[in-house]
Each structure stands twice: as C-alpha cells, then as structure tokens.
C-alpha cells in the first residue's frame, strides 16, 4: 500500500494508472525482474513474486503470483494458493488473482499476528467499504461475514445482485470470513472448510496472553467459565456486602447494652450460686452434726434406761481430736461400744463454750465499732472546733491547752480501764455486764481403759500427771492417786505455785520449794510452762492451760484435763496392776452412786465453784448473789453432817468421792477464801463445827489428805497470782494455825462447848 506505506519500486515503476498505488497497489512492469513489495502502515509483506494491482476503473492484471499485504501492526505470512484471487477496483471492477487475498483486521488478521489459511476458490472483496456495493453500483453477491467491533460475525445469505453504475454484477458462492477489530474470528459451518482454525490447548500451562477462548479444549473452557461465574458471584457478594456494611455498625453498637446486662445478670447468678453452695455446705454440716447429736441422745437415753450398775461411765470428749474415729458400721456392737460418749453433759458444755465464743466475738466487734465511732466523733468535734475558731477569729490558746489535757486524761483513763479488763480476762469475760465468773469447760476428755483394744490402755509408768498443790481441782487427783496406791504406776510433777500471764510455769532447777516433785518438766527439757504441752497438741490452741493434766508418754498426747474424770479413771482402770488391798478401796460404791452424783451437782456449783464466783465477781450484785448462795450451801452441808451417822458425807462407812471433792475447798476456806475471795460471813473453824470436825478428821486421820495439802503453795498462789484482787501481792499471816488439831477449838467455840458440858 503506497498511500499509507512506502513503495520500494517508486523509482522504476512509472507506468501505473492515475490512482496507481493510491491504496497500496503498484502497476505491473513486465520488464522488471525485481519483485516490488507493498508494506502496511507499520510493516511490509515479504513476497517472492511481483505484486498484482488493478487499475482505477477495474482493469484486470493477471499474475501467477500471490499478493501479500500486512496488517496495521504486523505482516501476514501467506501460504500459496491453487486458485486466483479476484480483486475489486475502486469502481467495482474485478481483479483476478491466482491466490486468495488475505486481509487482516485493524491489528492484523489475528491478535498475535497468526493467520488462518482458507481453501477458497475465489475471494471477492467489495468496494471501498468492504461488503457494501461499489461506488458505481457494482455489487458483490456473497455470503461474506462482516466483522463487528468485538469479533461477532453476522452471516449473510446470498442476496440478489444489485445493479452497479455500469450494470456489472459479480456472483460469488464462497463465503469469506474476516476478522473483527481485535482479530476475533467466529467459526462458520462451511461445507468446504477442511480443518479447524486453531490448535486447542490442553492445559493452562500453554495459555498465553494472546490465546483465544475457542482455542482451549472443552474441559479448560468449562473451568474458565466456572472461574468467570465465580468471579461474578464474588463481585455480586462484594456489592451486597458493601450495601449491608453501613448497617452493621449500628447492629454491633446495639450489642453493648445487651452484653452489659448479661454480664450483670451473670454476676448476680454466680453470686447466688456461691451463696447457695455455702448454704448447702452449712446445712450438710448441720445435718451431720444433728445426726451425731441424735445418736448421742439415743445412746444416753439407752444408758439411762439401764440399771445403775450397768451404766457406762465414760464421758469421752465429743470435740477432742484424740477420740476414736467413728466407723460406718451401724451394728449393735458399735452402739454398745463403751468408749463412745453416753453423757450429755459434755455436749451441752461444748454448746455453752461455742455460744460463749460467739458472744465474745460479737462483743469484741461491738467494742471495735464503738472505739471507731468514738474516734470519728472526736475527729468531727475537732474539725468543728477548728471551724468555729476560724470563724470567731483569734484562737484561744488556753482553751486549746485545756482541751488537750482533757484528751490526754481521757486516753490515760481508757488505757487504765483496758489494762484492768485485760488482767481479768481469764476470769470474767470482757463486756459481760453480769460480772459473774464462768468457768470454762475442759477440752481434753479421753478415757483410760483396761480393755485390750483401748486407745489409752492401763499400763504402768505410761502416764504422767501434771498438778499444782495450790489448785483444788488438781488436789483431788493427788488424794485419789495416794488412796488407790498409784504412786509407782502414775508419777506426777507439780508446777510452781505462781501463775503469770503465760499460765502455770515449771519450777527451775535452782528453786527450792516445799512439796514433793516441784521440779522442771521431766519429760520435756525445753518446756518452761505448762502451756507448752498444750501447744504440743495443737499449735493454735486457744483454751486455758489447766491442771490437772494427764499425759500419755508413749503417744505424746494429753489424755484428759478434767479432774472429775481423771479420779474416776484411777478408781478401777489400774486395778489389774494393784495389790489386793488397794483393789478393795471403793471410792464410788454402787449403792451410793446416785446420792453422790446428786450431792456433787450442787456442791460443785455452789461451793467448789461458789468461792470463785464470789472472789472474781466484778459487780456488787454478782458478788452478793454468789456469796449468799455459798453460805446457804455451807449451812446445808453443816446440817447434813449433823444428821450423818458416820464421820463422812452421806453416812458412808468410809471415804467416798463426795468427801474428796468437798475437802479440797473446805481446807482452803479459812486460810484463803475468807479474806482473799471475801467469803467472810463466817469461817469454818468458828461458824461450822460439824464441817470443822469433818475436815480435821480427814486431814489428820488420812495421810492421803494431809500429805497432798501444802498451805505454802495454797496461800502464795492466791495472794500473789491474782493481781486484780491483791495488786500488791501481800500474803496474810493468818489464820494461825492453818488448820487446828483434832482436839483444839477456837477460843470462843471452846468456851461455848465447856459451858454446854457444865450445863
């Protein structure tokens, strides 16, 4: 094409027509031996034969060589044809050629410059605009497909020839396919088409950027179609998400109140569950305890229904960690086990102790609250006075000094009151407005038995007894120990007579005190106080450190610290180890057991403990009540002894438990209780002649009573250990003597007796 390209034969081919080369054709020069080539806009077609061109008005120039022309961006590599090609001139004339004319689209015949060979007999091209009629009416009757912009083809059927300007018509029966703008070629079902236009690709590895869709095999096409559908679906989803996304913020924001509500409700539910769990646990514990209490009641009731000689005498501690473990068996053998508790007294004693502890806790909390309120009140008043002083102008320094001195005075008085309360904590509980002394119950209450399977079997030199000569409760055990001949079986140690802030202490090796076995602890070389033995059992022990204490040397355990139970263990537990003379000593005869129990009940409350209630009372009302009850009971005992047919209580023919328990109080009455505990309505030696005779009979006629009574320990302990009663620790000299001989009387009593004799 010379019009849009450059002709290489311009210098030698000068015989062309008027418009020769206007659209890329050049005239044929028969004499020329060279083969001119006509190139496209950006490229030229390489031919091996001279070009064939038509004249302006349709003159036909026949040639036996094919004409090759290039597309816009690339050349065509043509193949030789067997038939000629007819080219149409500008005005519709046909130009015959020996091979088909191959014309590319805008970018060449194919996207990548490839061509498709067609076996056509004739190829006719229209006028200036392709398939349209020529300028002068010449039409091309053909079924050529006019390419669309995007490669779609429109199949045209044979149409009647339209007359051209000169009446020429050209009939063509072979359809011609032309590429689209981008080189796309639609397939045609042509009868004479011999082969498929492209080689179908079998995998994606062979696909290039220029590969057409129809060049893929069926499987790849389906997969490509699936990918295309997937992309479209994803695009649609993205569109829907984009439309929905603005609403999600409001929805998410609406969840926050719901979450807060659920969290609040959840915390409430969890708290309720925790409370219910704690309540259920507490109810289970209560249920278990109720079952144990019910079993105790049934055992006690069964025991009471038995004759007195068949009663079980154990009073095992219900709360001690050293009691025998309970079994799961419900057999009658377990129910009849004598080591199980059958006495309700320890149960109620424990209940009283628990309630007392609870009351003490509440009182302590109330005191703390009151103290805090006083502090707040003082701070408020101080702030008030500061504000008032600031408003009134100049501050009165003298008034401030007076207020400060008053505050100091109040603090000193409060501290003094606190010290006074602390010093008496062991006797009257703080905050007890009644002012009454309440003795705490013993904690360790196990039992020594001579049975083979006993937890604490009766063995010689296995147990050690800790006592104090000053304590009336410990004095009982010393008397029984001597009466039953247990000196070699159960050794003992007496503590020092002084009881300080840490309780009873052991005497040191360099101290020389009256009494037998007042020595350091022979079992624990490092123990200085009796409480060390209690802490050995339980480091968190919070009870009192009392005597007597019966200790098991093999197990390093406290067997019991209850005097009434220790003496009953001594009655029979060690009989198998005693001589016959001591086996006969019966301090708790079966025919007097009921009377002894009845007597012990009111003697303990009104006399044994009555002197302590009088001495430790912190209110006038409590003192008057205790001391009048004490002397009423002494009068009752005096009358009882006056009616007795023997020198012993209950008209017993010999000493019994009742005599032993009363003796330890009466022997201390005149030397200590009259002046120290203010039990001074009467003394024994001048006011109660029968009691006086009874106590002297036991003291002088029974070595077990006299040898275990030490007046130095008794008087020193009470007067020097009770600082809240006797702050200066002065020990009175009287009475003199501490106990009169059997034939002696107080002067006034002796005079009265002589007067009676004379009358």
3-state SS class at 255: helix
Which two three-digit tokens encode residue 200?
């179908």
Average pLDDT over residues 577-587: 95
Task: Find the distance separating the first CA and the last CA of the chain, reported in whole Å.
Answer: 186
**What's the CA dihedral at 245, 249, 255, 256 to 10 degrees?**
160
238: CB partners within 8 A, 6+ apart: none
Exposed e or buried b for every residue in 669-696, given b needs 16+ CB within 10 A? bbbbbbbbbbbeeebbbbbbbbbbebbb
Which residues pair with residue 153 across a beta bridge? 147
- Enumerate the H helices of 101-159 as residue ranges: none
- The Cα 428–Cα 356 span in angstroms is 12
> In Å, what is the CA distance from 101 to each residue of 86, 96, 98, 182?
8, 10, 9, 19
Cα angle, residue 95 at apex, residues 91 and 100 outer, rounded to 5°: 125
> E-strand spans in 373-486?
463-467
Confidence of residue 428 (pLDDT cuts 50, 70, 90): low
Range 443-585 has CATH code 3.40.30.10: yes
pLDDT tens readout for residues 366-382? 988 888 888 888 888 87
pLDDT tens sequence across 252-286: 888 888 898 899 899 899 999 999 999 999 899 99
Quote the pLDDT of residue 418: 53
Per residue in 533-555, pLDDT (tens digit) is 999 999 888 888 999 999 999 99
Q: Which of 51, 471, 611, 658 is catalytic?
A: 471
Based on the residue annotation, tell me whether 471 is a catalytic residue of this protein. yes
pTM, two decimal places? 0.48
Query: Cα separation of 40 and 21, whole Å?
Result: 12
- 466 pLDDT more than 60: yes
Looking up tokens 């004409």, which residue turns up?
A: 67
Q: Which tokens belong to 126? A: 């229209």
d(CA 73, CA 181): 13
So what's the pLDDT on residue 384?
78
Containing 95, the helix (H) or strand (E) segment is strand 94-95
Asked whether the beta carbons of 430 and 359 are under 8 A apart, the reply is no
| pLDDT at residue 680 in the model | 96
Pick 357 or 329 by higher pLDDT. 357
Q: 491, 500 in Cβ contact below 8 A?
A: no
Phi-psi category of 92—alpha, beta or left, where left has phi over 0 and alpha has psi -120 to 50?
A: left
pLDDT of residue 705: 98
Q: How far apart are CA 31 and CA 44, in angstroms?
A: 23
Q: Are 49 and 66 in contact (CB under 8 A)?
A: yes
What is the distance between the alpha carbons of residues 111 and 579, in angstroms, rounded to a whole number? 135
Q: What is the mean pLDDT of residues 194-210?
A: 67
Most confident of 69-83, 299-313, 331-345, 504-518: 504-518
CA angle 562, 566, 572 (to 5 degrees): 155
CA dist 367 and 659 (Å) reads 45
647 CB-side CA count, 13 A? 13
Whether the CB-CB separation of 353 and 379 falls below 8 Å is answered with: no
DSSP-derived 3-state class of residue 466: strand
Rg (CA), the chain: 66
Confidence of residue 168 (pLDDT cuts 50, 70, 90): very low
Rounded CA separation 322/313 (Å): 18
486 neighbors 570 (Cβ within 8 angstroms): yes
Query: pLDDT (tens digit, 9 = 90+) per residue, 374-422?
Result: 888 888 887 877 776 655 555 567 777 777 887 887 777 666 555 544 4
SS3 content of the chain, % helix, strand, coil (to 5): 45, 5, 50
**pLDDT reading at 604 higher than 90:** yes
Residue at token pair 């009423």: 632
Residue 322 has phi, psi (to 5 degrees) of: -95, 5
562 close to 314: Cβ distance less than 8 angstroms: no
How confident is residue 120, by pLDDT bands cut at 50, 70 and 90?
very low
CB-CB contact of 43 with 23 (8 Å): no
C-alpha span between 35 and 631 (Å, rounded): 164
CA-angle at 221, arms to 210 and 238, nearest 5°:
90
Residue 556 confidence (pLDDT) above 90: yes
- On average, the pLDDT of the chain sits at 75
How high is the pLDDT of residue 526?
94
Contacts of 103 (CB under 8 A, 6+ apart): 69, 109, 125, 178
Residue 48's pLDDT is: 43
Q: Burial letters for 348-364: b for 16+ Cβ neighbours within 10 Å, e otherwise?
A: ebbeebeeeeeeeeeee
Assign domain 587-759 to its CATH architecture: Up-down Bundle (1.20)
Output 551 or 222, whichever has higher pLDDT.
Answer: 551
> Residues 538, 542, 545, 550: is their CA dihedral positive or negative?
negative
The domain locations on the chain are 1-186, 219-305, 443-585, 587-759
Q: Give the DSSP per-residue string, 503-561.
A: EEBPPPTT---SSTT--S-SS-TT--BTHHHHHHH-TT--S---S-EEEETTTTEEEE-
| Whether residue 572 has pLDDT greater than 90 | yes
pLDDT tens track for 433-447: 677 888 888 889 999
Helix (H) or strand (E) holding 304: helix 218-305
Q: C-alpha distances in angstroms, 79 versus 101, 439, 686?
A: 11, 133, 163
Q: What single-letter DSSP state applies at residue 492?
A: E
Neighbours of 221 (CB within 10 A): 14
Torsion from C-alpha of 273, 275, 280, 283, nearest 10 degrees: -170
pLDDT in tens, 15-50: 444 444 444 444 344 333 444 444 444 444 444 444
Pairing, β 169-171 against β 463-467: unpaired
Length of the chain: 759
430, pLDDT greater than 90: no
Task: Give the residue from 490, 496, 491, 492 showing the smallest Cα distance to 509.
Answer: 496
CA distance 6 to 41: 9
pLDDT reported for residue 309: 65
**Interacting residues of 436 by C-beta distance below 8 A, sequence separation 6+:** 428, 613, 617, 619, 622, 625, 626
For residue 479, which of 663, 700, 742 has the smallest C-alpha distance? Answer: 663
More confident site: 342 or 150:
342
3 state DSSP class of 13: coil
């Amino acid at each position: 094409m010379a019009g849009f390209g450059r002709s290489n034969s311009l210098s030698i081919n000068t015989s062309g027509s008027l418009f020769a080369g206007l659209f890329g054709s050049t005239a044929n020069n028969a004499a020329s031996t060279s083969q001119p080539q006509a190139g496209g806009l950006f490229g030229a077609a390489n031919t091996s034969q001279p070009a064939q061109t038509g004249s302006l008005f349709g003159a036909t120039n026949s040639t036996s060589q094919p004409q090759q022309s290039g597309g816009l961006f690339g050349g065509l590599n043509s193949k030789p044809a067997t038939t000629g090609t007819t080219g149409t001139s500008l005005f519709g004339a046909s130009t015959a050629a020996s091979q088909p004319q191959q014309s590319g689209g805008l970018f060449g015949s194919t996207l990548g410059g490839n061509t498709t060979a067609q076996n056509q007999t004739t190829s006719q091209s229209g006028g200036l605009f392709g398939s349209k009629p020529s300028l002068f009416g010449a039409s091309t009757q053909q079924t050529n497909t006019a390419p669309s912009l995007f490669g779609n083809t429109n199949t045209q059927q044979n149409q009647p020839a339209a007359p051209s300007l000169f009446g020429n018509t050209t009939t063509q029966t072979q359809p011609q396919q032309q590429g689209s703008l981008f080189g796309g070629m639609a397939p045609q079902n042509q009868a004479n088409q011999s082969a498929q236009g492209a080689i179908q690709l079998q995998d994606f590895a062979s696909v290039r950027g220029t590969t057409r869709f129809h060049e893929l095999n069926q499987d790849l096409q389906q997969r490509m179609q699936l990918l295309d559908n997937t992309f479209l679906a994803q695009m649609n989803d993205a569109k829907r998400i984009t439309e929905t996304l603005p609403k999600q913020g409001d929805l998410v924001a609406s969840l926050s109140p719901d979450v807060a509500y659920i969290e609040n409700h959840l915390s409430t539910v969890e708290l309720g569950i925790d409370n219910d769990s704690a309540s259920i646990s507490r109810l289970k514990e209560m249920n278990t305890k109720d079952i144990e209490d019910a079993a105790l009641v049934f055992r006690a009731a069964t025991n009471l229904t038995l004759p007195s000689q068949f009663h079980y005498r154990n009073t095992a501690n219900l709360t001690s960690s050293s009691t025998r473990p309970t079994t799961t068996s419900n057999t009658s053998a377990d129910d009849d086990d004598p080591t199980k508790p059958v006495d309700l007294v320890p149960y109620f004693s424990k209940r009283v102790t628990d309630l007392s502890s609870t009351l003490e806790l509440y009182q302590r909390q109330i005191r703390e609250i009151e103290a805090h309120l006083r502090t707040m009140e003082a701070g408020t008043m101080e702030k008030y006075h500061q504000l008032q002083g600031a408003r009134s102008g100049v501050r009165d320094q003298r008034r401030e000094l007076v207020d400060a001195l008053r505050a100091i005075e109040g603090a000193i008085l409060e501290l003094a009151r606190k010290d006074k309360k602390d010093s008496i904590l062991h006797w009257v509980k703080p905050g007890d407005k009644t002012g009454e002394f309440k003795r705490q119950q013993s904690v360790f209450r196990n039992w020594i038995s001579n049975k083979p399977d006993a937890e604490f079997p009766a063995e010689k030199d296995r147990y050690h007894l800790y006592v104090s000569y000053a304590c009336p409760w410990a004095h009982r055990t010393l008397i029984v120990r001597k009466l039953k001949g247990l000196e070699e079986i159960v050794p003992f140690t007496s503590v020092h007579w002084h009881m300080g802030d840490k309780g009873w202490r052991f005497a040191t090796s360099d101290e020389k005190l009256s009494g037998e076995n007042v020595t350091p602890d022979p079992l624990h070389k490092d123990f200085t106080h009796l409480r060390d033995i209690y802490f050995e059992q339980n480091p968190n022990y919070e009870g009192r450190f009392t005597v007597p204490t019966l200790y098991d040397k093999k197990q390093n355990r406290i067997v019991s610290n209850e005097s009434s139970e220790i003496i009953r263990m001594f009655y029979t537990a060690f009989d198998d180890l005693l001589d016959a003379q001591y086996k006969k000593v019966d301090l708790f005869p079966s025919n007097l057991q009921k009377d002894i129990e009845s007597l012990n009940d009111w003697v303990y409350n009104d006399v044994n403990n009555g002197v302590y209630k009088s001495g430790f009372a912190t209110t006038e009302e409590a003192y008057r009540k205790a001391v009048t009850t004490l002397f009423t009971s002494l009068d009752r005992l005096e009358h009882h002894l006056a009616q007795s047919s023997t020198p012993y209580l209950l008209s017993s023919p010999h000493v019994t438990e009742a005599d032993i328990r009363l003796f330890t109080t009466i022997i201390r009455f005149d030397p200590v209780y009259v002046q120290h505990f203010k039990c001074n309505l009467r003394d024994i030696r001048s006011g109660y002649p029968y009691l006086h005779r009874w106590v002297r009979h036991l003291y002088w006629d029974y070595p077990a009573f006299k040898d275990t009574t030490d007046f130095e320990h008794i008087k020193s302990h009470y007067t020097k250990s009770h600082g809240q009663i006797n702050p200066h620790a002065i020990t009175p000299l009287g009475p003199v003597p501490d106990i009169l001989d059997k034939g002696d009387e107080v002067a006034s009593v002796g005079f009265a007796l002589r007067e009676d004799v004379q009358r």
